[in-house]
Amino acid sequence: MMTLLFMGTTEIIIIAVVIILLFGAKKIPELMKSLGKGVKSFKDGMNDTEQPKNDEPKKEDSTSDNAQ
């Protein structure tokens, strides 16, 4: 797993050539666009789940309501 972090230029070029051969040069921009949209929607979803934690209403003291 750690060897993936230490890829050289040659390995990156080989991977890029294989991707171009598999998908074709015209499909790559479409793939990157859809990948970007997927990442953006994932981040938006993560932000939506965190918002209710920050927007919780403050608890009021119930004894002050009964006194009025």
For the stretch 10-22, pLDDT in tens is: 998 998 889 888 8
Phi then psi dihedrals of residue 58, to 5 deg: -75, 140
Tens of pLDDT along 12-53?
Answer: 899 888 988 888 888 888 888 998 999 999 999 888 876 555
Residue 24, sorted as left (phi over 0), alpha (psi -120 to 50) or beta, turns out to be: left
